[in-house]
Every structure is written in C-alpha cells, then in structure tokens.
Structure 1
C-alpha cells in the first residue's frame, strides 16, 4: 500500500524509517539495563549542549557536566528569548523544525527540534496509536481541533489534513446547529478514530446523549477516541464511551516535547520513557517519592537543536508507586501550576478543584453544557456557563455548600449565562482562570 503519510514526512526532511528503527531498538533495551540507558542518554544530551549551545552553557554556568541533580530547572520564562539565541551552533532556523507553544499556561514561546528528533516524535506517536490498531497511513481521523483563520494558514492545515488522512471539524462554534452538521459527516464518512480537544469532544458527546444516539450505530467503522490538551474527568469518559460506542484514550503531551503519557490498553497512563525523561520535583527542585505530588519536569533526550533539559512544563502530577525506569506510570495529573487558586485563609488549591466540585452539581441534569470558573479576587469568583435554562437557586446553593465543605467557607460567586464560551486562539477551553 502507498504510504502517503510516511512520504510527506520524508519530503519535509523527517527520516521516519531511521527514527522507527532506532525507536524499536530503544524498546528492545531490557528493563534491567534501562536505568543505565537513561542515565547515559541524559549525560550525552547535557554534554552536547554544554559544548555546543552558548545559551544553555550560560544558564548552567559551566561547560562541564558534574551531577544531574545540580543542573538548573528551566522554566518557560527562561526560554522567552529570540530562537536564534537559543539554538545550538550547528543549527539554523532554516534547518530545524520550528513551532510555537499554545500559550495555555500563559507563557507562549517559539521552540525548535532538530529534524531527526521530530521524526522520533512521530515514531513515538505511531507506536502508541498502534496499540489501538490505528495506522497513520491508512486510518481515517475525525479531528476536533482549532484551525488558523487566516487564508494561508487555513489552507496549509487543510492540506496537512489531506496528507495525514484527517477530516477537521473547526471547534470555535459548537452550537447544536454545527454539531448537527458534524453528525452528518459521521453518516457519510468511514472514520476509524476520533482525535482532538477534550472539551469539544465532550460537548459532542452531550449532543449525542441528548438525542439518545450511539455514534457507532451511525459510523460502525469507528474503533477508538483519543482526547488531548484538557482534563478528562471520569464521568465524562463514561458518557463518551457510552455515546461514542468506543474506548476513550487519554493522552498528555506538549508540542515542544512529544507525547508525555498515553493511556495503554491496560488503562494505565504510561509515560514516554523512550524519548523523554520525566521527574516529579518539589518546590526546592528535589525529587519526590513515587506516589507523591510535585512539579512535572521533563528532559528531551535527543533534541540537539534546542535544550529541553530539566524543563518545568507547568503541570503538577504524581507518578504511580509501581513505576520503574522502563515503564513509568502517571498516576494523576493534578493540573497546571499556573492554575492555582489562593484563598483568603492562605490556602492554595488547584483551580480544577473548584471546577470539579461545581461540575458534579450543575451538570447533573444535563442542562449545563459547559462552564468555566474565574477567580477575580481572593474571595470572589465568577462562573460563566452555557445551558438550556438558567441555574436554579437550589443548584447555586448546592454549589456554594459543596465549595464551603471541600475548600473553605466565605467565598462569593457570581453566575453568568452565555451563548458561547471564549476559547483560546487554538480552540482550547481554559476551565479555570485566575485573574490574581
């Protein structure tokens, strides 16, 4: 069979055959040797950047690698300098893969990968999607993603979708009228899988629920759904699996790195230990025990064009106690460090706690389609929501009672019913926002 996707990677300078061969070799490293393998790769990438990247050498303050734990932890603010100043000596902007982070953490920046590292990223994606029988050369994707609205950007993405066997549903307007047209596409196209932003796919799932539709009754070729970029709550996963009629797989990634964790067929959130090294650190940048919460810090083991070494991605997570060097398991992704609510008592709480407690009440009857929580001052919050009808006083009382119980009393809330919620430029829904 003609492999159009592989060919498109090759034409763009991404040697996918070589990358897949090396990826297979990494997978073949025995568990007993895996710690040595990771430590060797860590040392190699650090020494490369200390010798070839003046930007990184200046941050470290030395050209010699001594001890892993003494290396600085990079933040996104460290990287908000012109890309040309951050590239390694033998690379230029014309010879690397260049892209921009979404800015969902509030700190967007332009980044680069050498082309072989980007090919390894695709090898990693191909391997993990293959767990569910998905082949990027032949499987047809229903894609719920944003799309550039300028003419050139729009058609460029559409062309990439064609090469990658994807049909894209733009997600800036997800009214019932638009979702009705989305459903029509599933009646006429033989999609193999769904991929896209969690909130958009959940909204489509609720549209199906309201009409008592199971999507596989309409599109029986569907095998699996992958959701990304936003939190997937357990009750939403249950709803989706019921009304899509297929397994729902949770992925966690970052455009500047790779897939970070991907739900395997045993329902474990398996961390990418092939191209990345993941640490969970405390506020003093010391490692925490598996099972304990901390900052997610990631090293790209192959990227020679740009240093992502002990890079603090802005998330808080927990590694499972049963994790090992070859197969780390992400037990829980708590949320973004930038999405922390600071309360009058001085208590700090992940903003998604508000979202989660509120969600359990106001979505119970299916009236509220989606909502966001915004912190305005230490003790005041706003809730914007989209619904068939306004929240009742009983629902409002239940929300405030639950928040008083799970967080602290004395907080005030204002409620605003909207026709549509504001998303980021890429179409993501930021579920908790702090204006502090």
Structure 2
C-alpha cells in the first residue's frame, strides 16, 4: 500500500499531476530544457508581479525584463506576517505553510501552493529511488529533533508512522541513549538512515568505540542520507566504515525542498526540475562555473509565495562540468553545527536550539535573528535582534525550554543587539561553542 503517497493526496497535494510534469521535464532535450527554463522563469516573475503586491513593491523602478536586475530576496525581507507576502490568488487556508528551521539564525514562516509542494515530494521520491529507496515501503531510521510537548510529540510520531520511519531524537547523544538506538537497529528492518549529520556522526563514533559495523546487525540497510549540516570528508569515511553502506550528501531547505543530491558516482546533482540555482557575486551578478559565490535559488512553480532569486545564506560553487540542464554542486560552505556539551556529560546536536528558540518566535516575527554561544560548560549567551526587548516572561519561557530539551540549571544571559556578527560566508552560525 502506498501509504505515504496516499497521505499526501488526502491533504490535497496533486501527486499524479506532479509525477507527469516531472516525467516531461526529465525527457527534455538540451534545447527543449533551455526553452522550458526560460518560459518558467518568465512565467513565475510575471505571475508574482501581477498577483503579489509584496513582490511588485520590491520591483518598483526596476527593469523586470532583465533577469540580472531583479531583486535578490533574503530572509530578512520575508520576516513579516505571511499574509503580507501571499499571492492574492491564495489564502492561508488553501496553501501549505511551515517554518524554516532557523539554523541560519533567521527563521520565518513560508508558504507553498499545493502543486509546488507536490512536485517537491515527487523529486524526493525520484532521487531516493536512485538508491532503491521507496518512500512508501522503505523503513527509515530518522535522526531528527522532535517536539517534547505532548501534542507536538504525538503529531510528529503520527507523521513518522505515515512516512514509514522511526525517529531517534538528537537531543541526547550520550552512550546510554545510543545504546538504545543500537538495540532498535538490531530488531528493526531499516532500509536507510536519514537525518542531521552531526548526530549521525556521533552514532558512528559510538559504533567505532564498540567495534561494530551497523550493516552486520541490520543487513536490510541500503544507504545513509545526511542533511541539514556540512558533511566533511573524514566524517563521510567514518560513516561508510561503521555503517557498511553508501553515504549520500543531501542539500536542502524547508522552504525550497531538495536542492542537491549525490548520485551513485558522487556527483552532487542540483535539482533543476523545479529549481533554478544561481551563484552570484557581491553585486548579485552571476559568476562563472567553478567560482565561489552566494547561492541564490528560484522556485519555478511556487505561486503562493515568491521565492525568486532567493538568497539562502550559503556560499558555494557549481562545477565546471555543469550544464544548464544538469548543474553539479562542487562546493558548499556553511551549514556546520557544533555539538552542545553539558555538565552532566550529555551531548546534543547544535540544532537543538532551533526547538528552544521556537518558544520566542511569533507571527509578528518579533525576534529577527539570534545566535547562541556556549561560554562555559553551564553558561550560554543568547544574542538577538528584535523589534522589542524580550520580556522576563519570554526569557523564562526560553529557560524552561532549555531545561526540557537540554537539562536544568544551565545559565542563560540575554543580550539584545542591533546587528549580529556574521561568518565570513555571510551566514549566521546559530550555535558556537567556545569550550
């Protein structure tokens, strides 16, 4: 039974239509693809100029017929109530909405129309199929965060059930917790691993200490797919050694879906089906293949919300092997996340702070940016940019969230800033440890 696809269709996402569209795109000749891309870029810009006042206001006094003159959107542009950014063809009740992870320190709510969301999932299905993974039937071992409040917890567990996956929380990566993970692998026929790089690497190091190759105790495993954080070469070798399966690097963003995915020949292929990826210099002009610049992406199908020349906050380069139809991501800079070390000896993924900072996020986007720095084993500084100073009640809410997700008796110091220091890449690193 295709339970996963059925769940998407039940929510109104036109999976069959998206599959047909993807099949057409995949079979285009080089010339046909060039024409397709030109038409889709023109169509999505024209649509939002006509139907999205937010985007039209950004393009005032601009020659919109010249692609390179179009504005480059960044996350701060989008930190305003969602209804101010929506196309007039959609309402909050007729679209898919979600929050970005906030891993860049700049969270916001985004929207997709049903077809844009459907083609995102169909692309995931296609890419995962390269490694014999069927999202309907293949059991996933998922290393992600999970809400700890009762409603949020069981909602995610239900979604995991529909997605045929079992979730291992990244909030506790102690040996005791990883021993339980190992026992679950021994009695479950997992087909693949998916999740945050840093947490999966910690599991591999645990296996190395125990001199265990995961494939020997879970022979049904086919592949490990890491996402959301940087995968370094040494870590990839460790994962392949301790898991005994191929390790695939995935690059994506919640608001865009799958951006790039490694094939069986280790080519990091960019998703050119429904995304157009540019590498731009500081003046927002394209750089040649092989040169590093800002990663800027256009969603060719999202008519609910404009993601046109949208700057993710990462630096990268496209390989000189790239073509318009088949771009290859050569290098990605950023997306690293340190581990949190705690007085109890417990370790947790740096992205844990995403779940903590959600406690102070609001629809009005009061908190614009934030970074957390670990000064001592039990001491953290929370620097933030906001339209208003956090109240004592809001600070206490963050403290309580830290108590739940990490451990009690940690000291938090809050500092409101007008501007936060950024990395050389131009991206905010949400968590930094000075230990």
SS at match of 1:312: strand
The equivalent of 2:38 in structure 1 is 39
Deviation of 1:36 (Å): 2.0
Give the TM-score taking structure 2 as reference length. 0.78
| Distance change >3 Å, CA 382–CA 171, structure 1 → 2 | closer
Whole-angstrom CA distance in 2 between matches of 1:232 and 1:156: 30
2:122 is equivalent to residue 123 of structure 1: yes
1:364 is matched with which residue?
none
Deviation at 1:255, TM superposition (A): 0.3
* CA contact 1:174–1:200 (8 Å) conserved in 2: yes
Distance 1:62 1:40, change over 3 A: farther
Q: Hey, what does 2:419 align to over in structure 1?
A: none
The Cα shift of 1:15 comes to 1.1
CA distance, structure 2, for counterparts of residue 31 and residue 243 of structure 1: 41
* Unmatched tracts of structure 2, length 5 or more: 339-346, 351-372, 379-405, 411-428
Runs of 4+ in 1 over 4 A off after TM superposition: 369-372, 381-386
- Aligned residue runs from structure 1 range 121-160, under 5 A: 121-160=120-159
CA gap of 1:232–1:22, structure 2 versus 1, over 3 A, is same
Q: Which residue of 1 aligns with 2:98?
A: 99
Distance 1:7 1:62, change over 3 A: farther
1:171 aligns with 2:177: no
How many residues matched?
358
Q: Deviations over 1:306-350 (max 9, x none)?
A: 0000000100001101100111000000126xxxxxxxxxxxxxx
> Structure 1 residues 314 and 97, CA, compared in 2 at 3 Å: closer, same or farther?
same
Aligned match of 1:390: none
Q: Secondary structure at the match of 2:105?
A: coil
SS at match of 2:324: coil
In structure 1, C-alpha distance between the alignment counterparts of 2:63 and 2:290, rounded to whole Å: 33
| Secondary structure, counterpart of 1:180 in structure 2 | helix
Instruction: Find the residue that maps to 2:334 and give its secondary structure.
Output: strand
- Residue of structure 2 equivalent to 1:53: 52
Contact 2:222 2:245 in 1 (8 A): yes
Q: Which has the higher contact order (CA 8 A, sep 6+)?
A: 2
Where does residue 203 of structure 1 map in the other structure?
202
The runs of 5 or more residues in structure 1 that have no matched partner are 337-350, 356-368, 373-380, 387-418, 423-429
Asked if the contact 1:192/1:221 (under 8 Å) is kept, the reply is yes
Deviation at 1:62, TM superposition (A): 5.9
Superposed CA deviations along residues 64-112 of structure 1, whole A, max 9, x for unmatched, are 7311011000010000010001000110011100000011111100000
* Aligned CA-pair RMSD: 2.4
Query: Which moves more between the two structures, 62-71 or 76-85?
Result: 62-71
- Is the contact made by 2:62 and 2:70 (CA closer than 8 Å) also made in structure 1? no
